[in-house]
């Protein structure tokens, strides 16, 4: 079956530090990959996505590249802000599985001023 593995948190960084959150996946088909973000007390919002190998998704200074050879989709940001403090979820959607989303366990990011 499909699965997504994320680095465990919490990740604590100082403002303007570089962020990497690792994500690897296993899938039976050819999935689309997503990063969702959950701010405190809110639902999930799509942060970025990539639908084929070597695609780079980007939004709000965050980037992730779909690496089929390493089955990875690591999230990066060059300079984090306090407002980036949230829980980040890596997910995949497999057309062979009815487009159902499979989520990783989530990584909590805390950014200190």
Partner 1 sequence: NAGVTQTPKFQVLKTGQSMTLQCAQDMNHEYMSWYRQDPGMGLRLIHYSVGAGITDQGEVPNGYNVSRSTTEDFPLRLLSAAPSQTSVYFCASSYVPAGVHNEQFFGPGTRLTVL
Q: How far is the CB of 9 from partner 1 (least distance, A)?
A: 9
Say whether residue 69 binds partner 1 (CB under 8 A).
Answer: no
Structure tokens given for 77? 């940001």
Q: How many residues bind to partner 1 according to rule CB under 8 A? A: 23
Q: How far is the CB of 62 from partner 1 (least distance, A)?
A: 16
Q: 77-112 burial string, b = 16+ CB within 10 Å, else e?
A: beebeeebbbbbbbbbbbeebeeebbebebbebebe
Among 12, 26, 100, 112, binds partner 1 (CB under 8 A): 100
d(C-alpha 70, C-alpha 81), whole Å? 29
Q: Contact at 8 Å (CB) between 11 and 23?
A: no
Say whether residue 57 binds partner 1 (CB under 8 A).
Answer: no
- Where on the chain is the footprint of partner 1 (CB under 8 A)? 4, 32, 34, 36, 42-46, 49, 51, 89, 93, 95, 98-106
């Amino acid at each position: 079956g499909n699965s997504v593995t994320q680095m465990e948190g919490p990740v604590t960084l100082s403002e303007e530090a570089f962020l990497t959150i690792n994500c690897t996946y296993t899938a039976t088909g050819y999935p689309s990959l997503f990063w969702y973000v959950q701010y405190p007390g809110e639902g999930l919002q799509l942060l970025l996505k990539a639908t084929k190998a070597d695609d780079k998704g980007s939004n709000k200074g965050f980037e992730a590249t779909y690496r089929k050879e390493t089955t990875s989709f690591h999230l990066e940001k060059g300079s984090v802000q306090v407002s980036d403090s949230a829980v980040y979820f890596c997910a995949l959607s497999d057309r062979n599985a009815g487009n159902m989303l499979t989520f990783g366990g989530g990584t909590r990011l805390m950014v200190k001023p």
